[in-house]
């Protein structure tokens, strides 16, 4: 009698498993995931950071850029982005260090040169800023009006240290976005 009861119980359990397996869908496994994350695609931390920067969410952008650093390593894009967000957060020393590191990685990376110039202007080193803006302008082949304007402001400040204008009250920095596309962001 015991054998019959045990056999019936096992049969019911197996029948329940069959129903569950068929309700998962075709090709689905009733077993837990293997932990293989190579199939998963994540959103690019740099792109998320750029969008957050444009939205004025600088702390969140910093987190996204740090995530990108963890995923991609500290390449020129990541270093420049981290320098830019630290500039926005008023962390000028950190920003300068990161932007100088970016330039060491790629001496032709225009946004890093320009943003370094912005940091130097903010810290009162106008002479060095003008040299940095000249480098950015030359590397950009004069294509960017914003870099030209930054250079003009720096040179005007050298010629006349008391120089200010209404337009100069709004500083700009240049952030790389994708393959050669740039987004100009107004400083707060």
Measured CA to CA, the distance from residue 28 to residue 134 in angstroms comes to 60
The whole-number pLDDT of residue 169 equals 46
Which DSSP letter does residue 167 get? G
125-173 pLDDT per residue, tens: 999 999 999 999 999 998 988 999 999 999 998 887 766 554 544 455 5
Predicted TM-score (pTM) of this structure: 0.68
55-74 pLDDT per residue, tens: 999 999 999 999 999 999 99
User: Which of 78-92, 132-146, 169-183 shows the lowest per-residue confidence on average (mean pLDDT)?
Assistant: 169-183
Cα atoms in the 13 Å half-sphere on the side-chain side of 38: 2
Q: How many CB atoms lie within 10 A of CB 80?
A: 30
22-40 pLDDT per residue, tens: 455 566 667 676 666 555 5
CA dihedral (154, 166, 100, 50) in degrees, to 10, reads -150
The whole-number pLDDT of residue 84 equals 95
92-137 pLDDT per residue, tens: 999 999 999 999 999 999 999 999 999 999 999 999 999 999 999 9
CA 183 to the chain's CA centroid: 12
The whole-number pLDDT of residue 37 equals 57
């Amino acid at each position: 009698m015991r054998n019959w009861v045990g056999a019936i119980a096992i049969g019911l359990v197996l029948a329940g498993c069959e129903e569950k397996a068929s309700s998962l869908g075709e090709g689905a496994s009733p077993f837990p995931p293997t932990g293989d994350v190579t199939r998963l695609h994540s959103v690019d931390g740099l792109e998320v950071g750029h969008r957050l920067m444009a939205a004025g969410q600088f702390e969140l952008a910093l987190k996204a850029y740090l995530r990108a650093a963890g995923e991609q390593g500290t390449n020129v894009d990541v270093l420049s982005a981290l320098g830019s967000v630290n500039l926005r957060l008023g962390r000028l020393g950190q920003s300068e260090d990161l932007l100088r590191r970016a330039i060491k990685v790629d001496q032709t990376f225009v946004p890093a040169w320009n943003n370094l110039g912005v940091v130097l202007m903010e810290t009162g080193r106008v002479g060095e800023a003008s040299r940095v803006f000249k480098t950015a302008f030359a590397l950009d082949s004069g294509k960017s009006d914003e870099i030209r304007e930054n250079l003009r402001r720096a040179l005007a400040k050298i010629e006349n240290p008391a120089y200010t204008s209404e337009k100069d009250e709004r500083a700009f920095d240049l952030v790389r976005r994708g393959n050669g596309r740039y987004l100009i962001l107004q400083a707060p």
